[in-house]
Structure 1
Amino acid sequence: MTARRGGGPTMHDVGKLAQVSAMTVSRVLKNDPGVSEETRERVFAAVDRLGYRRNETARSLRLGGSGMIGLVVTNLANPFYSRLALGVQEVATEHGFRMLLSNSAEQAGREPGIIDGLIDHQVEGLIVVPAGSRQQHLAAAMRHVPVVLAARPPAGLDTDCVLVEDFHGAFEATACLLAEGHSRIAFLGNPPALYTGAERLRGFWAAHEEAGIEPDNALIHQGLVDAATAERAADELLDRPEGPTALFCTNNRISQGAIRALYKRGTVLPLAGFDDFDLSDVLGLPLTLVSYDADEIGRQAARLLIDRLHHQDAEPPASRRVTVPTRVIRHGARPGDHPSSAPPPGA
């Protein structure tokens, strides 16, 4: 069979060769689970033989959608958001969607304009990591498209979200330091207005309460936004006569700033923090890190959004909250470790 004159093969051509309807071809190309494996094989064999390539513009006109979803993150330079974006893209591609990525740079004032721009580009839905607690612009966006939040919960919105076990992870990591005998643990945190910062401080505090230890407020620094501000805060704490014997950091950038401050001083202190990071296992430092699958946050958010897109004509489901679990991993030797478990010299 040859393609029609004046253009490439059509979905009808594929269906005729595979002995199915054009609608069945469309269902196969959208990974509809209701199509039998035998039919799928025939359709894909016909696609390969004809060299069929779906016309996305025609699809958009026919289905009334662009085939695109928008993703807004707060700091694309942070590996966490890069992994989240990869998770969104993975699921979007599986379902025949493309992803438009935007970065708010943690500037809440920029976010409404970014959202409006994505809607003007006809995205069919949005996944947003909110830059702040004011979310009225997201409520306005929800009049046009479904919106799912990631990493931070809705504030006054009735919508789906995907979160990390922020409280539990901070509690477990802090409890590890307390169990080692540390009673003066410094807290280096991101801005308290952020959900993650507040929840991780709450977990830090709860672990102390359970251990019967009162945290020293003088050792709690919040409002840190990057490695540089974290390094300065760590320096200030370490300069104190009664400084900390261990550190807790609320994200990977803050951990890296604190590690740099320790390195410049030639000081080794146990450090606990959220987010594993590259080479953490070979530094030879006593690290307690809260790890989780950032890709899975993106995958879950994309699944929630696409599920809403596939059921827009039905009664919308109640808002859903998915929580991605955390686990504590530990690197480096600690007091009391067996000598054979210590890292080799120079590690």
Structure 2
Amino acid sequence: MKLNDITIKDIAERANVSKSTVSRVLNDLAIVNPKTRKTVLEAAESLGYQANVFARGLASGRSMTVGVVTQKIGSPFYDMMMQGVIQGFTGTGYSPIFVDGQWEQSTELDVIRTLMGRKVDGLILLGGDISQKDLDQLREQIPTVVVGKDVAGWEGQCVYVDNFSGAYDATQHLIEFGHREIAIVRGIIHHQDAIRRFQGYAQALADASIELDPDLVLDGNFTAQSGIIAVNSLLMRGKSFTAVFCANDMVAYGARLALQRKGIRVPEDVSIVGFDDQAESSYVSPPLTTVRQPGVEMGVVAAEGIVQLMQGGTCEFPVMNAELQRRESVARITSQ
């Protein structure tokens, strides 16, 4: 007998019960005597029965799938969050469908529409840049959790770290090591993460009575290439700086490469700090001082939370800590 040919009738005959009893057990639709339930499940397992999830979904009105919109498939940080989502769904019966928003608002909206056309039961948005209006409308149509953003009015449906405090701690660490000329390569200028990280940087400078120099503020887009371009711009303008705070680790990798190409040593000549703590950051040369976002943990709690929402419950997410990881890419300034 082929596995796909096994039916409820076969299981009923093996377990010596009615087909309706088998249906109730397999679909968990009613209370069944524990002994009978065990007999049915053992019979199904012995026959190698595999539930037709699609058919079950048609009957129950659920697809047992959740759409997960990431922003860059292949990005180490987003990969960590996706791995966490997979872990969080383990044992729940739900399966994630991953799509890529590519950091483009129109693309993100398009892939969300595609997912909803496939009748997913819920949505997890990893990062992203769609408007507050679109988010609010989306939430009215389908259970939704946002990861990596603090959205106004979405208390209990957002998983995020304190980007302000993380950036503040990173900048303060550089200041404690004697740095005063600290450049920053920001992320996408209107992205909330980038805004909060810049605010943390600016506040740390202010608290140390260091005037913010607009010439040391450079725009990036969370890519390594933007780190290269930003550092090259500083060097071409002859702008003096002893440290660079980068919007994320990818930008830091690019900044380090640009310095290395010009014969500028890290950290002996210029110190670098990143944000995210990607797995590679412990092993680059020199190992990167960075702010750790718990990407895997964020994905896990997002998956657990969306399951609660889809089942008619509520969820509460604590603000997750962004912890500074001190490594060898920062050196102390002994003299100016």
Indicate the TM-score class for this superposition, using the shorter chain for normalisation: 0.7 to 0.9
Match of 2:70 in 1: 73
Q: Does 1:249 align with 2:238?
A: no
Match of 2:48 in 1: 51
Residues 217-250 of structure 1: CA deviation (Å, up to 9, x unaligned): 2101124342112201111113444411011001
CA gap 1:84/1:40 in 2 versus in 1, 3 angstroms: farther
Give the Cα separation in 2 of the matches to 1:18 and 1:204: 70
Q: 1:141, CA displacement in angstroms?
A: 2.7
What secondary structure does 1:324 align onto?
A: coil
> Residues 89-128 of structure 1 correspond to what in structure 2 (within 5 A)?
89-128=86-125
TM value normalised by structure 2: 0.84
Q: Does 1:327 align with 2:323?
A: yes
Give the Cα separation in 1 of the matches to 2:201 and 2:3: 69
Residues 190-213 of structure 1: CA deviation (Å, up to 9, x unaligned): 122101001111111122222222
Query: 1:62 corresponds to which letter in structure 2?
Result: A
What secondary structure does 1:207 align onto?
A: helix
Query: 2:84 corresponds to which letter in structure 1?
Result: G
What secondary structure does 2:103 align onto?
A: coil
Query: 1:105 corresponds to which letter in structure 2?
Result: Q
Counterpart selection for 2:217 from 208, 217, 220? 220
8 Å contact kept, 1:287–1:331: yes
Query: 2:6 corresponds to which letter in structure 1?
Result: G
CA gap 1:5/1:123 in 2 versus in 1, 3 angstroms: closer
Match of 1:175 in 2: 172
Query: 1:322 corresponds to which letter in structure 2?
Result: P
8 Å contact kept, 2:272–2:330: no
Query: 1:326 corresponds to which letter in structure 2?
Result: A
Query: 2:288 corresponds to which letter in structure 1?
Result: L
Query: 1:328 corresponds to which letter in structure 2?
Result: L
What secondary structure does 1:94 align onto?
A: coil
8 Å contact kept, 2:145–2:306: yes
8 Å contact kept, 1:300–1:322: no
Match of 2:144 in 1: 147
- Structure 1: gaps of 5 or more residues: 29-34, 338-347
Q: 1:43, CA displacement in angstroms?
A: 7.2
Match of 1:232 in 2: 229
Give the Cα separation in 2 of the matches to 1:15 and 1:304: 40
CA RMSD of aligned residues (A): 3.4
CA gap 1:280/1:139 in 2 versus in 1, 3 angstroms: closer
Q: Does 1:136 align with 2:141?
A: no
Give the Cα separation in 2 of the matches to 1:15 and 1:177: 72
Query: 1:257 corresponds to which letter in structure 2?
Result: G
8 Å contact kept, 2:66–2:97: yes
Match of 1:298 in 2: 299
CA gap 1:117/1:283 in 2 versus in 1, 3 angstroms: closer
- Identity percentage over the alignment? 27
Give the Cα separation in 2 of the matches to 1:324 and 1:44: 41
Residues 254-286 of structure 1: CA deviation (Å, up to 9, x unaligned): 111101101111212211110223443344427
Q: 1:159, CA displacement in angstroms?
A: 6.6
> Which shows bigger deviation, 150-159 or 299-308?
150-159
Give the Cα separation in 1 of the matches to 2:304 and 2:324: 27
> Which shows bigger deviation, 300-309 or 271-280?
271-280
Structure 1 residue ranges (4+ consecutive) displaced by more than 6 angstroms after TM superposition: 3-6, 38-44
Match of 1:280 in 2: 281
CA gap 1:186/1:64 in 2 versus in 1, 3 angstroms: same
- Structure 2: gaps of 5 or more residues: none
> Which shows bigger deviation, 9-18 or 285-294?
9-18
Match of 1:7 in 2: 5
Match of 1:289 in 2: 290
Q: 1:81, CA displacement in angstroms?
A: 1.2
Residues 103-143 of structure 1: CA deviation (Å, up to 9, x unaligned): 11111122222211111110011111353251333333333
What secondary structure does 1:332 align onto?
A: coil
> Which shows bigger deviation, 218-227 or 253-262?
218-227
Residues 268-320 of structure 1: CA deviation (Å, up to 9, x unaligned): 22111102234433444273211132111111111111101112xxxx64x74
TM value normalised by structure 1: 0.81
Counterpart selection for 1:205 from 202, 212, 234? 202
8 Å contact kept, 2:67–2:96: yes
> Residues 305-344 of structure 1 correspond to what in structure 2 (within 5 A)?
305-311=306-312, 317=314, 320-332=316-328, 335=331
> Which shows bigger deviation, 201-210 or 175-184?
201-210
